[in-house]
Amino acid sequence: MLKVYRASAGSGKTFRLTQDYIGLLFDADKPNHHRRILAVTFTNKATEEMKSRILKELHLLAIGQQSPYRTDLMKKKNQSAEAINQQAGKILINILHDYAAFSISTIDRFFQQVIRAFARDIGVHGGYALELDTSQVLDQSVDNLFFDLSEKENKQLLEWLTSYAEERIENAENWNMRSSILELGYEIFKESYQHKAAETNEKLHDRKFLSEFRSKLHFIIDDFAANAKRIADEALQIIQNNGLQLEDFKGGSRTGMKYLEKVSRGVLELKDSFFKMAEEVESCYTQKTPQHIIQSINAVYQGGLQSKMQELIAHFDEHLPIRNSALIIQKHLNTLGILSDLAMQIKKLTTEQNIMLISDSNLLLNKIIDDSDAPFIYEKSGLLIDHFMIDEFQDTSVLQWKNFLPLIKNSLSSGNDNLVVGDVKQSIYRWRNSDWKLLDSQLYQDFSKEEIKDENLDTNWRSDKNIVDFNNTFFVEASSRLQRKLDENIENSDANQNQLEDLKGKISNAYQETVQQVPDKAGTGRVRFEFTDDTEEDISWREISLKRLPGILEDFQSRGYKPGDVAILVRTNSEEKQVIQTLLNYKTTPEAKPEFSYDIMGTEGLMVESASTIKFLLGILRLLINTEDSVQRAIVNQEYAQGKLKLPVNEALKVSMSGNNPENGLSSLFSEDENEQLLQCKHLSLFEMTEKIIALFDLPAWHNEVVFLQAFQDIIYKFTTGKSSDLNSFLQWWEKSGHKQFIATPENELAFRIMTIHKSKGLDFKAVIIPFCDWELDSRMRNILWCETNVAPFNGLPLIPVEYTSKLGDSIFAGQYFREMMHTYIDNLNIAYVAFTRAKHEMVGICPLPKETKSGEIKLNTLASLLFLCFNNTQGELLNTHFNAEEKFYELGKALLVPPENKQHINETQKLSDYPTCDVTGRLKLKHKISMFNREEIDITENPLDYGNLMHEIFCRINAPEDHAGIIAEFIREGRITSEEAVKITSDIDDFWQMPEVENWFREGVQVLNETTILTPEGHQYRPDRIILEGQKALVIDYKFGEHELPSYQKQVKNYTILLNRMGYETSAYLCYVKLKKVVACG
C-alpha cells in the first residue's frame, strides 16, 4: 500500500513520519530491519532532525518514559507496555551499533550511491568528485567560452553572441555580456532543457539544417506580411476608386479603417473597431454622416470592401499565430545556440576535472534506471530496500520521481508499505525543478486507486485559532479569485480553449484541502495587515514600512515577547539587507530606547560587510588602489569621524563630504603619522596590510565589532592561501562574491531573526512580521520556457526557448504560456501560504495601498491587491467585518500579553572586546632563495621549480647570443649555482641557440621588452617573457623549461596575443620548450 499524507502547515507531519517509521521497525521479524527502510528528505538539516526524533522516541519507549507512540504500538502489536519497551530497546541498540546503515538521507545522497555503483556503465570515472556549487563551474565555463571565441570552429558562436548583444542593446537591457550569459547559463541546469539538450545541440551545429531552418522562418514572416499588405492595398484601392477617404468612415481621423493603412505600411495589427466595421455596414458611419457619404459607403461596402476586410481578418486568424511563432523562435535562436555551446564547455570542464554536477545526477540516474528492473539495480548497487518514505514530495522533480517509481512499484508488488508526504500549497521551489503536479495528479496516473491510501492531516497543532481561521478563509477566497482571473485570461485569448480545459480548476483544486481544524487547547491569536498610502508622504511605501518597523518591535517586546521569539520574513536577500541596515542604524539614533533590543540576526548569520569597521577597512584598501576615488574617501571619512573622532551622525556626514584629498595621504582627517604609515602598507602582504590598518586605527575600540574584524581577517587568510594574494585580486573577488560572506552565530534570544520566506519553510515562530507584504502574482521577469511542438516547420528543433511574455498568447505556444501563468499564480500564492502559516500567536504584515484605475477598479496583480480585494469585496464575516476601511487596516484578534517563561538553563555567550594584533616588523620570515648552507648537497638542475626560475632569470637578461656566458659566470661568483650546474645549464642554452627560429628572436634593429608588465583597464597584470616590436608588428615568446606540453600554456600565450591585438599590434606568438628543443606557434 502506498500511503499519501497531505500535510498542511503545522499538521504534525514529522510526528506522523516518525510514527510510521517506528511502526515499520516493530513490524519486522528480522533484526536490523532499519537497513531495509529508506526515508529521504531534501536537506541535511531535515535528515538529522528526523534521525534524532526517531532515536529520541525509541529511547523514551525503551526506558519506559511517556511517549505518544506507545499506546498505538500496544494496540497494533497486541502486546503489553513492558514488551513494547523491551523491543524498543533492542531496536535502538541495533541501530546504534549499525548507525552507518540507518538509511535516512537526502534524496541526492541516495542517488549518488546508485550512480557510483553504475559509474563504469555510464562512462564516468569512479573517483569523481561531486560538485554542489554549479555557479563556480558555470563561471569558469563562461570564461572559457569567451576565451575560445578566436577559434575557427567558434565562428557560429561569435555570430550568436553578436546578435544576442545587439538584441539586448536594442531592448535597452543590461549590455554586460558576461553577466547576461551567466544568468542565461542557469537554464542549462533545468530538467526541461536537459532531457533534449543533446538532440538540440546536434541540430544547431548542423550548418545546413540551421541555414534551411532560418530560411523557413524568414519565409513565414515575409509571406504573412506580403499577403496582408496585398489584401489591405486591394481594400484601400476599392475605397479610393469610389471617391471616398478613410476619414469619411465612422471615427474620422481615428477610424478603424486606418488599420488598412497601417497593415499596408507593415504595422500588422487589427483592433475591435475594425472587426465591428467588417461585420456590418451600419458600424461604418454614424447618424451625423452626410447622406451621400452613407450611400457611397453602402456601395463600396457591397462592392467588395467587406469581403476584403473579412479576407484580411481570416488571414490574421489563420496565419498570425504561425507568423508570431516564427518571430519568437527567430529571436531566441541565438539564445539556444549560446546555451548549447556553453553546455559543451561545462561538459568539457567537468570531464577534465573529473567532477559531476549535482544537477546532472537525476538525468544520469534516469538513463541507468530507464531500461533496468529494480532487482538488477539493487544487486548492482548493493542496496536492498523494502520500504520507501519520501518527505516533502511536492518538492520532488519529474526526473527524481521517474528514478524512484520503478523501485516503489517493485516494493508494492512484494506487498510492502510505502509512504509519501507533501502539501501542494507549500511548493515554492519550482526554480529547482520541483513539480507539485506529481502530488496533485501524477501519483494517480502511476498507481491504481487500490494501491493508494490518501489521508489529509487536517489539524493545525502549531498556530492559534485566529491565525488558522484567517488562513482557512483567505486562501480559499484567494485561490478562487486567481482561478477566475486565469479563466478570464484564457477565454479572452485566441488560444484553443479545448487544449486548456484542464487549467480551469487547477488553482482551486490545489487549495481544496486548505481548511484546517484547531485543537481545543489552541490560543486565540492575532492577525493584522496595515495598508500604507505612499501618496500621503513623499516617500515610498517600503520606506514607510521600514520607519514603522522599530515601533512594531518595541510593541512586541513591551508585551513580553523576547526578540528571539519574533521573526521578520522577506522575499529577497536585498530586502533582508534593507531591514538589517535600518535596525543597525536605528539603534545608534537618539530615538532608540535603551530598554529595548534592536539587534537582528539573519538565517545564516551576520553579513561581514554590514559592520562599520569593515566598511572603513574596505574603503582604505580601495583607496590604496585608487587614491582619486571620492566615494570611498567619503565612506572612510564618515566611518572615521564616527568611530575614531566619536562625532554624531549628522556632523560625521558633514565632515565626510567636506574632507579634501591631501597631497600626501588618503584623508585630510587622518593625522600625518596615520597617512604616512598607510602609504607604507602598500609594500606589505594583504594579510599584514589589514593587520597593520586594524592596529593603526585601533579599530576594535570603535564600535565593539571585534568578531567582524576577526572574521574579515579569517576571510583574507583563506583567500591568500588559496588564490593570488594581491590586493587588486582580493577586491575584485570581494565585489563579485566575497561580500556575501557572513558570520555564523548561535541562536540568541536577545536578537530578532530575519530570513527569506523560502528559508523559513519548515520553521515556526511565536510572532511573525512581514514588512514588505507584496509581490507580483504574475512574473514580470522574462523567464525562459522550454517548449516542444509538432507544428511544422518548427518541429525541426527538438527544443525551443521562448520568453514568458503576453505575445505567446497569440502563437502556437499559447498552451505553454497559460500553463506557465497558472504555475506562476500558484507559486506566488504558495509563498504567501508559507509566510502566513509560520506564526504561532501573532502575524503582522505591511502592504502598499493598491491604486485605483481611472474607472475606480483595483487590478488583481499583486498580493497586496489580492488581500485588499478579499477584505473589501468578500461575502464572509471573517474577512470583511474585521477590515477598517477608514484607517486601512485589517485586524482579527487582540494584541497578546505573553507571560514570562521560567527557563532552567540559559546559554551564555562570551563577547570579544579585544583583538590582539602583531607588528609585522621583526617577524620570522622564510627565505625563498637557496642559501650557501649545505649548498654542495643540492643540485638545482634536478629541481624543476628552482631550475625554471633560474633559467627565466638568465633568459630575461639575454639580449644577444654571447650574453649568457657572462651571466652564468656571475651566478657562479654569487654562489647561486655550482660549476657542475653551470655545465648543464650552458649545455641547455647552447641547444637553445641551435633551434632555427631563435635567430629571428635576437636580431638587431627591433625593440625588445623582456619580462615587461601589461596592465589592462580592469587592473589585471600580465608579464610575457619576451616581446619584440617592429613597427605595428609584435612577436611574443614565452619560455617553458619543463618536460611536458600543457594546453594551459597555449591559452596563456593566446591571451598575450589578444592583449597586444587590442593595443593595435599585429601579433604572432610562440611557445619555446627549451628542454624539449621544440617551438610551437600559438596564433
Rounded CA-CA distance 417/826 in Å is 32
The backbone torsions φ and ψ at residue 38, rounded to the nearest 5 degrees and listed phi first, read -115, 120
* pLDDT per position as a tens digit, 501-524: 888 889 998 998 889 999 988 899
DSSP 3-state percent helix, strand, coil across the chain (nearest 5) = 55, 10, 30
Average of pLDDT values for 576-580? Answer: 88
Confidence label for 529 from pLDDT (cuts 50, 70 and 90)? very high
Confidence label for 588 from pLDDT (cuts 50, 70 and 90)? confident
- Residue 564 gets the label, from left (phi > 0), alpha (psi -120 to 50) or beta, of alpha
Cis preceding-peptide flag for 793 (omega within 30 of 0)? yes
Confidence label for 549 from pLDDT (cuts 50, 70 and 90)? very high
Average of pLDDT values for 719-732? Answer: 77
**R_g over Cα of the chain:** 36
pLDDT over threshold 80, residue 232:
yes
1066-1073: strand order across its sheet? 1007-1010, 1026-1030, 1033-1040, 1066-1073, 1078-1081
CA dihedral 933, 934, 939, 944 (to 10 degrees): -50
Rounded CA-CA distance 390/439 in Å is 11
The backbone torsions φ and ψ at residue 603, rounded to the nearest 5 degrees and listed phi first, read -60, -45
* Cα dihedral sign, 743-749-752-756: positive
Average of pLDDT values for 526-531? Answer: 95
Average of pLDDT values for 972-994? Answer: 86
pLDDT at residue 906 in the model? 46
* Kind of pairing between the strands at 784-787 and 800-803: antiparallel
Fold equal for 2-124+360-457 and 526-605+746-776+813-894: yes
User: What's domain 526-605+746-776+813-894's superfamily in CATH?
Assistant: P-loop containing nucleotide triphosphate hydrolases (3.40.50.300)
The amino acid that residue 951 corresponds to is M
pLDDT at residue 517 in the model? 92
Q: 283-287, 758-762, 939-943, 1019-1023 — which is least confidently predicted?
A: 939-943
Q: Taking Cα atoms as reference points, which of 781, 822, 816 lies closest to residue 801?
A: 816
Q: Taking Cα atoms as reference points, which of 888, 892, 890 lies closest to residue 534?
A: 888
pLDDT over threshold 90, residue 779:
no
Rounded CA-CA distance 144/165 in Å is 18
pLDDT at residue 947 in the model? 81
Average of pLDDT values for 904-913? Answer: 52
Confidence label for 527 from pLDDT (cuts 50, 70 and 90)? very high
Rounded CA-CA distance 105/420 in Å is 15
* pLDDT per position as a tens digit, 644-671: 888 887 788 887 776 556 666 788 888 8
CATH architecture of 2-124+360-457: 3-Layer(aba) Sandwich (3.40)
pLDDT over threshold 80, residue 156:
no
CB of 567 closer than 8 Å to CB of 766: no
CA dihedral 443, 445, 446, 450 (to 10 degrees): 80
CB of 9 closer than 8 Å to CB of 453: no
Q: Convert 966-986 into a string of H (helix), E (strand) and C (coil).
A: HHHHHHHHCCCCCHHHHHHHH
Confidence label for 330 from pLDDT (cuts 50, 70 and 90)? confident
Rounded CA-CA distance 249/286 in Å is 8
Q: 267-271, 614-618, 932-936 — which is least confidently predicted?
A: 932-936
- Average pLDDT over the chain reads 84
Q: Taking Cα atoms as reference points, which of 874, 994, 978 lies closest to residue 930?
A: 978
pLDDT over threshold 50, residue 937:
no
Alpha helices by DSSP H, listed for 34-106, are 44-62, 70-77, 81-97
Cα diameter, the chain: 119
* pLDDT per position as a tens digit, 873-889: 766 678 888 999 889 99
The backbone torsions φ and ψ at residue 893, rounded to the nearest 5 degrees and listed phi first, read 95, 170
* Cα dihedral sign, 836-842-847-849: positive
pLDDT at residue 934 in the model? 42
Provide the CB-side half-sphere exposure for 927 (13 A, CA).
5
CATH classification for the domain delimited by 606-743, as one of 1.10.486, 1.20.58, 1.10.10, 1.10.1060: 1.10.486
Confidence label for 910 from pLDDT (cuts 50, 70 and 90)? low
Rounded CA-CA distance 252/194 in Å is 55
CB of 482 closer than 8 Å to CB of 825: yes
Q: Which residues contact 914 (CB under 8 A, 6 or more apart)?
A: 700, 706
pLDDT at residue 863 in the model? 95
pLDDT over threshold 60, residue 931:
no
* pLDDT per position as a tens digit, 784-840: 888 888 998 998 888 888 888 888 888 899 889 999 999 999 999 999 999 999 999
Helix (H, G, I), strand (E, B) or coil at 129: strand
Neighbours of 93 (CB within 10 A): 13
Q: Where in the chain are the domains?
A: 2-124+360-457, 129-210+335-358, 217-330, 526-605+746-776+813-894, 606-743, 926-994, 995-1083
pLDDT at residue 175 in the model? 63
CB of 92 closer than 8 Å to CB of 31: no
Average of pLDDT values for 79-97? Answer: 88
Rounded CA-CA distance 799/802 in Å is 10
Average of pLDDT values for 126-132? Answer: 66
Average of pLDDT values for 952-979? Answer: 85
CB of 1064 closer than 8 Å to CB of 1032: yes
Confidence label for 905 from pLDDT (cuts 50, 70 and 90)? very low
By percentage, how much of the chain surpasses pLDDT 90? 26
Rounded CA-CA distance 163/184 in Å is 15
Rounded CA-CA distance 89/85 in Å is 6
pLDDT at residue 781 in the model? 66
pTM of the full predicted structure?
0.74
Neighbours of 1017 (CB within 10 A): 6
CATH T-level topology, domain 995-1083: Lambda Exonuclease; Chain A (3.90.320)
Confidence label for 942 from pLDDT (cuts 50, 70 and 90)? low
pLDDT over threshold 70, residue 930:
no
Please report the DSSP string for 463-513 in residue order. S-HHHHHHHHHHHHHHHHHHHHHHHHHHHTS-S-TGGGGGGTTHHHHHTTT
* pLDDT per position as a tens digit, 671-694: 888 888 888 887 788 888 888 899
* pLDDT per position as a tens digit, 256-303: 999 999 999 999 989 899 999 999 999 999 988 899 898 999 999 998
Rounded CA-CA distance 15/1021 in Å is 60
Please report the DSSP string for 640-678 in residue order. HHHHTS---HHHHHHHHHHPPPPSSSS-TTS-HHHHHHH
pLDDT at residue 1042 in the model? 84
Confidence label for 94 from pLDDT (cuts 50, 70 and 90)? confident
Alpha helices by DSSP H, listed for 242-286, are 258-265, 272-279
pLDDT at residue 892 in the model? 93
